[in-house]
Amino acid sequence: MALPFSNTVDRTLERLRHAFIETARGAREVVGAPLRPDLPDDDVPRLRGRIDACLEGKGGVTARRARAAELGEVYLSLSPVGRRKFLLTLAHDYGLPREAALAHVERWRASKEPPQALVKALEPPAVHLLREFVGVPQGVKFVVDLRAELMALGKSDAGARMLSEDLRPLLSAWFDVGFLDLVRIDWRASAALLEKLVTYEAVHTIRSWRDLKNRLDSDRRCFAFFHPRMPDEPLIFVEVALVNGMAGNVQRLLDARAETSDPEHANTAIFYSISNCQQGLAGISFGNFLIKRVAEELVRELPNIKDFATLSPVPGLRHHIDGRLKNEGDDALTPGEIASLVPVTNNKATGATAVRELLDKPVWWEVPAIDKALRPILVRFTARYLTSTDDRGRAVDRVAHFHLGNGAIVERINWLADTSANGLKQSYGIMVNYRYKLGDVDANHAAYANGRVVASREVRAAARI
């Protein structure tokens, strides 16, 4: 059932435009005729005039916010071509190039001004402009979305990329976790919010209203962070299953036909999906705080919950395995593993070639002999992958890096835990449990900060460490 993402986006844009139009009505001056949607070159000087008027900051707070809202409404009224020109003008004409920054530093050195004066001088004019939106209705959401567009544009334009990075400290301050509200979402939430859960779900697609209702049932929990200035927009949400023991198969966990269990009898909380909702907040982490806050909430509500763990994908695993087979050949396998493949292939293929051919067979995971031959090989590869670090001492898998940095341990590897098309595509169906022992979180975090991956005996044995 996945709802069209464009529906949610269109409603959000319309809400932003309406809020800006209402606020801009308080402006005392109207700056020229409307700019044309594609922002042709002869309209750009008039755009700069409007930006300059905002930066001059004449009048009181109300006037400044009204001018900012009017400029925001202009941006939202543009076509994709016009928005691109708007962003490039903002990034290149109102950024802070290195030469200008050095000049500010030299002027400050020659003066007797306090350090705060230098900090203020080094803020790019574009960032100063966008600060005004914090007091405009829907203005915070506008800046978040504008940064998302800058990040996309920054893939091909250095100025846009630099401005998107310049905005990160501003948004980090606006979205400090102390300002955020933790909200439990259930089936009684508004239809608009439920649609956003469907739209933003990034791990396991929500396929129907029945599927969504199952994820919000009495033996499930869904929590999200919200910002007071964006009360209708979740920033990040986590889905939790209340079960007995460590869950090891996502299809069974999400089976809408399964009987609902009594959460009072559950002893384990399984975090099976964490989804960031706002692209413009990339690089601003909420997930670590979210998991810990949710664990605290669950302990208060259900004291019988003693264990906290994830059932997580391993998104880079298939690429890693394929690379090892291709680049290392038979050296990637042990002699025992090579010998175990012979009965399955009847000597038609051996070693890494045999593994490759077996993995290329349709529905190989449903053939018991192939399953038996491949399981120890792929589990060993997985254990090595999850316990390996790069030259910075970080886990090579991004999901592992996230959870290990939060103080979890690599608890268990789950064979064929996700046999969906996506699960097979990214990790040959393998998933992993990261376990959060609340009393050990700080120590585990410190160990990982020093480059050591904390893993269970089972995982370390599988990796043969």
Q: Look over the chain and give the mean of its residue pLDDT values, rounded to a whole number.
A: 92
Tell me, what's the pLDDT at 22? 65
Tell me, what's the pLDDT at 88? 97
Judge whether residue 265 has pLDDT over 60.
Answer: yes
Tell me, what's the pLDDT at 61? 83
Tell me, what's the pLDDT at 29? 45
Q: What is the pTM of this model?
A: 0.88
Average pLDDT over residues 254-275: 95
Tell me, what's the pLDDT at 208? 93
Average pLDDT over residues 145-164: 96
Distance CA 95, CA 133 (A): 17
Active site residue 227: no
Distance CA 73, CA 17 (A): 6
268-276 and 307-310 strand pairing: parallel
Marked catalytic residue, from 312, 319, 320, 445: 312
Specify the length of the chain in residues: 465
Tell me, what's the pLDDT at 121? 84
Local structure of 433: helix, strand or coil? strand
Which H or E run includes 277?
none
- DSSP string over 319-371: HHHHHHHHHHGGGGS-HHHHHHHHHHHTTSS-HHHHHHHHHTSTTGGG-HHHH
Tell me, what's the pLDDT at 443? 96
Q: Tell me what percent of the residues of the chain surpass a pLDDT of 90.
A: 80
Judge whether residue 145 has pLDDT over 90.
Answer: yes
Task: Check: CB of residue 55 under 8 Å from CB of residue 128.
Answer: yes
Judge whether residue 28 has pLDDT over 60.
Answer: no
Tell me, what's the pLDDT at 2? 44
Neighbours of 288 (CB within 10 A): 17
Marked catalytic residue, from 403, 420, 427, 445: 403
Tens of pLDDT, residues 278-337: 999 999 988 889 999 999 999 999 999 999 999 999 999 999 999 999 999 999 999 999
Residue 291 half-sphere exposure toward CB, CA atoms < 13 A: 28
Neighbours of 189 (CB within 10 A): 16
Judge whether residue 179 has pLDDT over 70.
Answer: yes
Tens of pLDDT, residues 181-193: 999 999 999 999 9
pLDDT band at residue 391 using 50, 70 and 90 as cut-offs: very high
Tens of pLDDT, residues 399-457: 999 999 999 999 999 999 999 999 999 999 999 999 999 999 999 999 999 999 999 99
Judge whether residue 7 has pLDDT over 70.
Answer: no
Active site residue 312: yes
Contacts of 131 (CB under 8 A, 6+ apart): 170
Tell me, what's the pLDDT at 15? 72
Enter the tokens of residue 30.
């109207």
* Amino acid at site 92: H
Closest CA to 270 of 383, 414, 435: 435
Tens of pLDDT, residues 82-137: 999 999 999 999 998 888 889 888 998 999 889 888 888 889 999 999 999 998 88
Cα 17 to its chain centre, rounded Å, is 26
Tell me, what's the pLDDT at 1? 47
Average pLDDT over residues 61-77: 90
Tell me, what's the pLDDT at 245? 95
Judge whether residue 376 has pLDDT over 80.
Answer: yes
Which H or E run includes 206?
none
pLDDT band at residue 10 using 50, 70 and 90 as cut-offs: low
